[in-house]
Amino acid sequence: FFLPSLKVESKTKGKPQKQICQVVLDQFDKQYTAELGDAWASVRDVLTYPLCWQYGVLLNKFSQSPEMESTLRVKGYHPAFHGSLPYLPASFRCYIRRTPGRFPAQKHQAGKLKEYYLLNAASLLPVLALEVKDGEDVLDLCAAPGGKSVAILQCACPGQFHCNEYDGLRSRWLKQTIESFIPEPLVNLIMVSKLDGRQIGDLKPELYDKVLVDAPCSNDRSWLFSSDIQQATLRLIQRKELSSLQFQLLRSAIKALRPGGSLVYSTCTLSKAENSDVINLILNSCSNVIPVDISEMAKAVSQEFSFLGGTQQHELLVLPEKGRTWGPMYVAKLKKL
Q: Is 145 annotated as a binding residue?
A: yes
Beta strands 78-79 and 56-59: pairing type?
unpaired
Q: Is 148 annotated as a binding residue?
A: yes
Q: Is 18 annotated as a binding residue?
A: no
Rounded distance between C-alpha atoms, residue 208 and residue 86, angstroms = 22
Rounded distance between C-alpha atoms, residue 288 and residue 283, angstroms = 9
Q: Is 146 annotated as a binding residue?
A: yes
Neighbours of 126 (CB within 10 A): 24
Q: CA-CA distances (angstroms) from residue 14 to 8, 50, 90?
A: 10, 16, 40
Q: Is 321 annotated as a binding residue?
A: no
Q: Is 165 annotated as a binding residue?
A: yes
Catalytic residues: 268
Q: Is 214 annotated as a binding residue?
A: yes
Q: Is 277 annotated as a binding residue?
A: no
DSSP H helices in the chain: 3-12, 22-36, 39-47, 68-74, 125-130, 147-155, 168-181, 184-187, 200-203, 220-223, 229-256, 276-285, 295-300
For 72, residues 6+ apart whose C-beta sits below 8 A from its C-beta are 57, 95, 103
For 244, residues 6+ apart whose C-beta sits below 8 A from its C-beta are none
Rounded distance between C-alpha atoms, residue 106 and residue 104, angstroms = 7
Report the half-sphere exposure of 314 (CA within 13 A, side-chain side): 17
Contact predicate 52/99, CB 8 Å? no
Using the CB atoms, write b or e for 212-225: b if 16+ within 10 Å.
Answer: bbbbbbbebbebbb
Rounded distance between C-alpha atoms, residue 277 and residue 246, angstroms = 11
With the CA atoms of 277, 279, 280 and 282 taken in that order, what torsion angle do they form, in degrees rounded to the nearest 10? Answer: 120
Binding-site residues from annotation for S-adenosyl-L-methionine: 142-148, 165, 196, 214
Binding-site residues from annotation: 142-148, 165, 196, 214
